[in-house]
């Protein structure tokens, strides 16, 4: 790890100004960033820690929307997001206890790892990503592997999740990392069903619109029977072929529908 | 007799320091003025080094010196400890293994140069400023392609990439071919034994020190055998005589084989400490461990089993390509030959066996012994082909094994070893009982009702432990003896220090060894300390691997303790004015047979060191004895393993729902420790069969070079194990009657698991006869859907 300066601001405004300088980078739980720095793959000159900011932590629900501060840990979401069980369940199965006690929702979404769990929940819920400058719809936020709509120095301060009638996340783990080899988030709203898939595609998290249409008409696993997922564009690696991932997308979607509550 | 002794599940005394963070590992050793070494390693699999420009890096802050291959001119290469002779009577091709790459890099991770600086960060910063120009060459990866005419050579100065072409027993070659050609039935199986990374919890560390006043070198290192390192490094690499070289391997956090070998980093730190006049330390990162610790397994095999109409095995032929990697690691040549071919009889009476092994150089990390070493590879192919034969011939897999079991001992196999004892029907019976084999159909029906496919897989293994009779292994090409040593030092007040040549890196020797000596003398085991891991403290010992510690190291300790008891009896006889032949030792008391005269252990030990009233004319004062024990034969643990799996047909995911192990380890010193060893072995074997996979891409880049892609077994990947070791046929040729238990779990479990998955799939109507390990969900799914 290279040397760096460490800043712990006491407000979002201070954090934003600290991030304005050259070479500054936001630090959430550090569960992605610190290992990268240890491997010398990243060498920010200044880390601006967001984890102590009260205005960015906590879970609250009002008017059918759950708002989660951008610096809220996975463990807090697992414990406090009971009003949205699909989301709490997802958070409870990210990494291990150490990761969940440090890692944050803002860090996970900003990182947009193609195998991460939260992007599926955000996209599958049609969430709104709130930053220090604007609000971004999840449909516009994720822009391919490790890439998002965030500008340089822009901070995710909160995420707003419309609470669905029923939801579930099915994660088929990659045996080594235990990230999602394929993960599918299904959420049923009054105006339709959303299905978001992570881990599978070379384009990163995405919606499966054919399944959304079928499930909006008939919310049961059987509704998927006639559908198939193309292997084109699916990730192929040591842990699974493209065809296998395509197959898993359908299996996991069916299981998520069956388990949705 | 105080509590404890042989047969007691004494708690592991070493766990107090391990579990409270007070273990003293090599990385905990920090010497005054120590400098830090950072190894710069090749990021290509094969390449020609055109130039190394150290000028900018040399002037970076804190840099003391940058070492390249030219610093090691006149220094030997890393030696190989075993020379195999091939089918044609020629010795193997043995390339030089330089400390730092000379002219060429031959695998990702091959060290090119080393920056030594005041701090590790400074060394790493300077490494970034090195300019190394390498022309990449074609990477040699596939073993069969590597042997093709005109293939790119890993070592330009060798004739080819073939290390050796070994045939065993060569005289049987024709007879085996004939038996196979004429047999009623021949079952053939092609398989791969997947390459593994050992991944001990503690990565490797080396700290070199040099004392100018005494001209003494000290190396602190993470080793399973410090004397072997002293011998190899002192005599063959650096030319330092033993009396000027001390090697210390303090607490070591797991080895699994990967810490047997002499590595370049050890020689480097020892050499550099003298060169720069400061201690030099290197601590491997986990990423470095993946590309510099010796890997395990990596065999590609075709096996054929010939049977008569009753299922009697007539002949067995196996043809293996064994990956050596880019260089020969310390024991690499012996693993696919003498530790593999000699086990191909398994538990069966097969009269004719021929084993052919081609060892091949490739542009990958060197491969050497890993828990089981050769025996898992032998057991896997044999127990898979036996299972396949049973299915092909419509004979129950248990029954087919029983029809071919060896039942008379000693039994001389056609592959040059003689099993002293065993009772395979007994272990099989025990397995069927503890696994509730009879209840399987009921459980399978329940699984089916839940949409899952259930299968039961059996394997029966034999292994050869307690390596080994020195005269025998000498004939087979070992360049070392394989005895073990012990010094028992009784102190004046009766406490005892046992200096053993065995090394404990998690096995619990400090507890079980003390139990043996306590039992023999009849004193409390807490009066006994086990000292190991320092060449300046213990007699020349060969260390710990091959499940040899209790069988060979324990036997040396018994012999030394017997000498102690003999001498103590002489002293006791003198003290009680009795004849030596009348003295009995029981529960730490010496008595004269048939009288009520007795003296305590402490009286005798005190007399030995305060010899006021002492038979000085007959014996010397003091009570300290050394013994070297060279075994008469290997030991042959065996056992029956049963694995029950559920397969999710929608995803191919395999869940191990039950695993039972019925082992015969001979006599047991500490049942709790034995059970723990089996648990660990099973975890590693199930890891290999289910999830562990060291894979390279076609450029020779490691695809599974971190825990993000290399899956280690975790507790929730494993079921609760049912372990039994009550079937005991004691070893006939060592004084404890022990056989060893350290590797069995890793040897017997992979075939049981694969057999179980094949069973589950065939029961569900899938025509699947084999899936290569690891049985990852995508492979199982692909097999079901092909
Ligand atoms: C062992 C292990 C297992 C894991 N398993 C899983 C898993 O199963 N599923 C899963 O989804 N993830 C998993 N993760 C990743 C984990 O969830 C990380 O916590 C997460 O990806 C990053 O969050 P963080 O708060 O740690 O971010 P950091 O590592 O601190 O930062 C990551 C990136 O986000 C930026 N950033 C951080 N906070 C903000 C913010 N509020 N606004 C804008 N940018 C920000 C940083 O600048 C950096 O670029 C695992 C991680 C580890 C180490």
β pairing state of B47-53 and A206-207:
unpaired
CB contact under 8 A, A176 and B691: yes
Q: Which helix (H) or strand (E) holds B176?
A: helix B173-182
**Sequence ranges of the domains in chain B:** 15-20+483-629, 32-137+201-254+259-292, 295-468+633-784
Distance from C-alpha of B13 to C-alpha of B415, rounded to nearest angstrom: 41
**Which CATH number among 3.90.1170.50, 3.60.21.10, 3.30.70.890, 1.10.3720.10 corresponds to the domain B32-137+201-254+259-292?**
3.90.1170.50
Is the distance from the beta carbon of residue A69 to the nearest atom of ligand 1 less than 6 Å? no
Is the distance from the beta carbon of residue A18 to the nearest atom of ligand 1 less than 6 Å? no
Distance from C-alpha of B566 to C-alpha of A226, rounded to nearest angstrom: 85
Query: Mean pLDDT of all residues in chain B?
Result: 97
Buried b (16+ CB within 10 A) or exposed e, B609-622: eebeebbeeebeee
Among A238, A242, A243, A250, the residue to mutate for chain B (most B Cβ within 10 A): A238
When CB atoms are compared, the residue of A3, A238, A244 closest to B703 is A238
Write out the residue range of the structural domain in which residue A121 sits. 57-162
Atom of ligand 1 nearest to the CA of A116: 11
Nearest in space to B330 (alpha carbons), one of B391, B266, B248: B266
- Shortest distance, CA B730 to any CA of chain A (angstroms): 41
When CB atoms are compared, the residue of A40, A175, A248 closest to B711 is A175
Atom of ligand 1 nearest to the CA of A119: 11
Using a 10 angstrom Cβ sphere, with 0-12 exposed, 13-18 middle and 19 or more buried, the burial of residue B159 is exposed
Is the distance from the beta carbon of residue A117 to the nearest atom of ligand 1 less than 6 Å? yes
Contact with chain B for residue A173, Cβ under 8 A: no
Distance from C-alpha of A123 to C-alpha of A129, rounded to nearest angstrom: 10
Is the distance from the beta carbon of residue A28 to the nearest atom of ligand 1 less than 6 Å? yes
Structure tokens given for A200: 């599978």
Structure tokens given for B705: 């070079």
Please write the tens of the pLDDT for every residue from A227-246: 999 999 999 999 999 999 99
Domain boundary among A139, A162, A185: A162
Residue A160 pLDDT more than 90?
A: yes
Is the distance from the beta carbon of residue A118 to the nearest atom of ligand 1 less than 6 Å? yes
Which chain A positions have a beta carbon within 8 Å of B127's beta carbon? Answer: none
User: How much is the pLDDT for B786?
Assistant: 87
Distance from C-alpha of B418 to C-alpha of B402, rounded to nearest angstrom: 20
Please write the tens of the pLDDT for every residue from B177-192: 999 999 999 999 999 9
Same domain, residue pair A170 and A157:
no
CB atoms within 10 A of CB B779: 20
CATH number at residue A102: 3.30.465.10
Please write the tens of the pLDDT for every residue from B627-640: 999 999 999 999 99
Same domain, residue pair A121 and A171:
no
**Alpha helix (H) residue ranges in B212-306:** 226-231, 264-276, 286-292
> In Å, how far from its chain's centre is CA B385?
25
Altogether, the residues listed in chain A come to a count of 261
CATH number at residue A30: 3.30.43.10
Cβ–Cβ under 8 Å, residues B369 and B485:
no
A111 CA distance to ligand 1 middle (Å): 6
Cβ–Cβ under 8 Å, residues B465 and B744:
no
Using a 10 angstrom Cβ sphere, with 0-12 exposed, 13-18 middle and 19 or more buried, the burial of residue A140 is exposed
Q: What share of chain A is helix, strand, coil (3-state, %, to 5)?
A: 35, 25, 40
Structure tokens given for A169: 């996340």
Predicted confidence band of residue B74 (pLDDT cuts 50, 70, 90):
confident
Same domain, residue pair A61 and A43:
no
Predicted confidence band of residue B259 (pLDDT cuts 50, 70, 90):
very high
CB contact under 8 A, B695 and A238: yes
Please write the tens of the pLDDT for every residue from A82-116: 999 999 999 999 999 999 999 999 999 999 999 99
| Helices B554-575 and B509-521: angle between axes, nearest 10 degrees | 30
Is the distance from the beta carbon of residue A46 to the nearest atom of ligand 1 less than 6 Å? no
Architecture (CATH level 2) of domain B295-468+633-784: 2-Layer Sandwich (3.30)
Structure tokens given for B89: 């009577």
Domain boundary among A112, A138, A162: A162
Domain boundary among A162, A190, A206: A162
Distance from C-alpha of A30 to C-alpha of A38, rounded to nearest angstrom: 11
Same domain, residue pair A105 and A170:
no
**Alpha helix (H) residue ranges in B394-469:** 397-404, 424-434, 440-449
Structure tokens given for B383: 């127990």
Among A93, A176, A240, the residue to mutate for chain B (most B Cβ within 10 A): A176
Identical fold, B15-20+483-629 and B295-468+633-784:
yes
CA-based nearest residue in chain B for residue A39:
B287
Same domain, residue pair A198 and A156:
no
CB atoms within 10 A of CB B319: 15
Altogether, the residues listed in chain B come to a count of 786
Same domain, residue pair A171 and A253:
yes
> In Å, how far from its chain's centre is CA B523?
33
CB atoms within 10 A of CB B706: 15
User: How much is the pLDDT for B2?
Assistant: 60
B693 CA distance to ligand 1 middle (Å): 26
Q: What is the average per-residue pLDDT within B224-234?
A: 97
Residue nearest to atom 23 of ligand 1 (CA): A107
Among B777, B784, B785, the residue to mutate for chain A (most A Cβ within 10 A): B777
Nearest-5° angle of CA B539, CA B543, CA B548? 120
Please write the tens of the pLDDT for every residue from B683-720: 999 999 999 999 999 999 999 999 999 999 999 999 99
Residue A35 pLDDT more than 90?
A: yes
CA-based nearest residue in chain B for residue A115:
B708
Cβ–Cβ under 8 Å, residues B677 and B781:
no
CB contact under 8 A, B778 and A241: yes
User: How much is the pLDDT for A1?
Assistant: 83
Nearest in space to B98 (alpha carbons), one of B284, B259, B236, B294: B236
- Shortest distance, CA B61 to any CA of chain A (angstroms): 14
A80 CA distance to ligand 1 middle (Å): 19
Structure tokens given for B2: 């105080």
Contact with chain B for residue A47, Cβ under 8 A: no
User: How much is the pLDDT for B1?
Assistant: 53
Fold of B15-20+483-629: Aldehyde Oxidoreductase; domain 4 (3.30.365)
A52 CA distance to ligand 1 middle (Å): 16
Distance from C-alpha of A103 to C-alpha of A33, rounded to nearest angstrom: 10
CB contact under 8 A, B650 and A251: yes
Predicted confidence band of residue A21 (pLDDT cuts 50, 70, 90):
confident
Distance from C-alpha of B149 to C-alpha of B151, rounded to nearest angstrom: 6
Domain count, chain A: 3
Structure tokens given for A116: 């991460």
Give me the DSSP letters along A8-70: --SSHHHHHHHHTSTTEEEESS-TTHHHHHHTTS---SEEEE-TT-GGG--EEEETTEEEEET
Same domain, residue pair A178 and A237:
yes
Q: pTM of the predicted model, to two decimals?
A: 0.97
Q: Is B451 left (phi over 0), alpha (psi -120 to 50) or beta?
A: left
Same domain, residue pair A254 and A223:
yes
Q: What is the average per-residue pLDDT within B72-94?
A: 96
**What percentage of chain B carries pLDDT values higher than 70?**
100
Q: What is the average per-residue pLDDT within B21-26?
A: 97
């Amino acid at each position: 790890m290279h040397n760096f300066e460490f800043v712990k601001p006491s407000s979002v405004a201070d954090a934003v100004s600290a991030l304005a300088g050259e070479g500054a980078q936001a630090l959430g739980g550090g569960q992605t960033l610190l290992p990268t720095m240890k491997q010398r793959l990243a060498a920010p000159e200044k880390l601006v820690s967001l984890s102590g900011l009260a205005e960015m932590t906590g879970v609250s629900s009002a008017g059918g929307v759950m708002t989660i501060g951008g610096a809220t840990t996975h463990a807090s979401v697992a414990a406090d997001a009971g009003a949205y069980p699909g989301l709490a369940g997802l958070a409870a199965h990210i990494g291990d206890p150490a990761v969940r006690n440090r890692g944050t929702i803002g860090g996970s979404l900003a990182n947009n790892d193609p195998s991460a769990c939260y992007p599926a929940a955000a996209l599958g819920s049609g969430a709104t990503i709130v930053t220090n400058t604007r609000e971004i719809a999840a449909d516009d936020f994720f822009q391919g592997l490790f890439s998002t709509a965030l500008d340089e120095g822009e901070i995710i301060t909160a995420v707003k999740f419309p609470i669905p009638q029923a939801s579930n996340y099915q994660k088929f783990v990659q045996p080594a990392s235990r990230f999602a080899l394929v993960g599918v988030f299904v959420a049923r709203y009054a105006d339709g069903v959303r299905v978001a898939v992570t881990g599978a595609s070379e384009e990163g998290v995405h919606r499966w619109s054919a399944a959304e249409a079928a499930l909006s008409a008939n919310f049961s696993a059987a509704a998927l029977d006639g559908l198939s997922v193309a292997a084109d564009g699916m990730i192929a690696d040591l842990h699974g072929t493209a065809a296998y991932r395509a197959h898993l997308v359908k299996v996991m979607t069916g299981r998520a529908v069956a388990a949705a509550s | 007799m105080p509590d404890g002794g042989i047969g007691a599940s004494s708690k592991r005394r070493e766990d107090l320091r391990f579990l409270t963070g007070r273990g003293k590992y090599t990385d905990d050793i920090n010497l005054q003025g120590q400098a830090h070494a950072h190894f710069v390693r090749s990021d290509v699999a094969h390449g020609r080094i055109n130039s190394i420009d150290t000028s900018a890096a040399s002037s970076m802050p804190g840099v003391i010196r940058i070492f390249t291959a030219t610093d090691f001119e006149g220094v030997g290469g890393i030696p190989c400890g075993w020379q195999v002779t091939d089918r044609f009577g020629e010795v193997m091709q043995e390339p030089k293994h330089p400390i730092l790459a000379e002219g060429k890099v031959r695998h990702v991770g091959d060290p090119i140069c080393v920056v030594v600086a005041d701090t590790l960060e400074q060394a790493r910063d300077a490494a970034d400023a090195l300019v190394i120009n390498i022309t990449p060459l074609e990477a040699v990866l596939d073993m069969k392609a590597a042997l093709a005419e005109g293939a790119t050579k890993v070592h330009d100065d060798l004739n080819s990439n073939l290390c050796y072409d070994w045939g065993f027993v060569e005289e049987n070659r024709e007879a085996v071919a004939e038996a196979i050609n004429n047999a009623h039935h021949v079952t053939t199986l092609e398989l791969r034994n997947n390459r593994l990374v050992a991944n001990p919890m503690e990565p490797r560390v080396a700290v070199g020190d040099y004392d100018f006043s005494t001209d003494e070198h000290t190396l602190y290192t993470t080793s399973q055998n410090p004397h072997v390192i002293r011998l190899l490094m002192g005599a063959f690499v650096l030319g330092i005589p033993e009396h000027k070289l001390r090697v210390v391997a303090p607490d070591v956090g797991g080895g699994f084989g990967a810490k047997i070998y002499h590595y370049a980093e050890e020689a480097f730190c020892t050499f550099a400490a003298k060169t720069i006049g400061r201690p030099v330390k290197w601590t491997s990162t986990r990423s470095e461990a993946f590309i510099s610790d010796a890997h395990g397994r990596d065999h590609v095999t075709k096996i054929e089993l010939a049977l008569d109409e009753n299922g009697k095995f007539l002949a067995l032929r196996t043809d293996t390509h064994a990956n050596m990697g880019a260089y020969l690691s310390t024991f690499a040549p012996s693993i696919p030959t003498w530790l593999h071919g000699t086990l191909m009889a398994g538990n069966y009476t097969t009269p004719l066996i021929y084993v052919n092994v081609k060892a091949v150089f490739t542009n990958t990390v060197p491969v050497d012994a890993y828990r089981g070493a050769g025996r898992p590879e032998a057991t896997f192919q044999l127990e898979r082909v036996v299972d396949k034969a049973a299915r092909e011939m419509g004979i129950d897999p248990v029954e087919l094994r029983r029809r071919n079991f060896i039942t008379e001992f000693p039994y001389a196999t056609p592959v040059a070893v003689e099993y002293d004892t065993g009772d395979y029907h007994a272990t099989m019976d025990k397995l069927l009982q503890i696994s509730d084999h009879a209840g399987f159909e009921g459980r399978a029906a329940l699984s089916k009702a839940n949409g899952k496919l259930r299968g039961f897989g059996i394997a029966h293994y034999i292994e050869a432990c307690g390596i080994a009779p020195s005269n025998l292994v000498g004939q087979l090409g070992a360049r070392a003896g394989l005895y073990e040593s012990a010094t028992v030092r009784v102190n004046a007040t009766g406490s005892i220090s046992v200096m053993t040549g065995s090394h404990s890196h998690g096995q619990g020797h400090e507890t079980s060894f003390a139990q043996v000596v306590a039992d023999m003398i009849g004193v409390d085991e807490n009066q006994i300390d086990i000292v190991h891991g320092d060449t300046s403290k213990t007699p020349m010992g060969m260390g710990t691997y091959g499940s040899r510690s209790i069988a060979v190291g324990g036997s040396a300790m018994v012999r030394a303790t017997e000498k102690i008891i003999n001498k103590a009896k002489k002293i006791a006889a003198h003290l009680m004015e009795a004849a030596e032949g009348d003295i009995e030792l029981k529960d730490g008391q010496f008595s004269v047979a048939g009288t009520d005269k007795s003296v305590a252990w402490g009286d005798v030990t005190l007399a030995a060191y305060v010899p006021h009233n002492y038979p000085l004319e007959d014996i010397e004062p003091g009570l300290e004895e050394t013994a070297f024990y060279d075994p008469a034969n290997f030991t042959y643990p065996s056992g029956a393993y049963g694995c029950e799996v559920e397969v999710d047909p929608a995803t191919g995911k395999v869940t191990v729902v039950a695993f039972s192990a019925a082992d015969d380890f001979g006599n047991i010193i500490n049942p709790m420790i034995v059970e723990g060893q089996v648990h660990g072995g099973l975890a590693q074997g199930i890891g290999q069969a289910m999830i562990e996979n060291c894979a390279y891409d076609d450029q020779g880049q490691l695809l599974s070079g971190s825990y993000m892609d290399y899956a280690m077994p975790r507790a929730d990947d494993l079921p609760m194990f049912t372990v039994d070791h009550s079937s005991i046929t004691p070893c006939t040729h060592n004084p404890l009657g022990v056989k060893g238990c350290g590797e069995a779990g890793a040897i017997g479990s992979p075939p049981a698991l694969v057999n179980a998955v094949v069973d589950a799939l065939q029961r569900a109507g899938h025509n699947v006869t084999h899936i290569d390990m690891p049985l990852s969900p995508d492979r199982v799914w692909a097999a079901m859907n092909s």
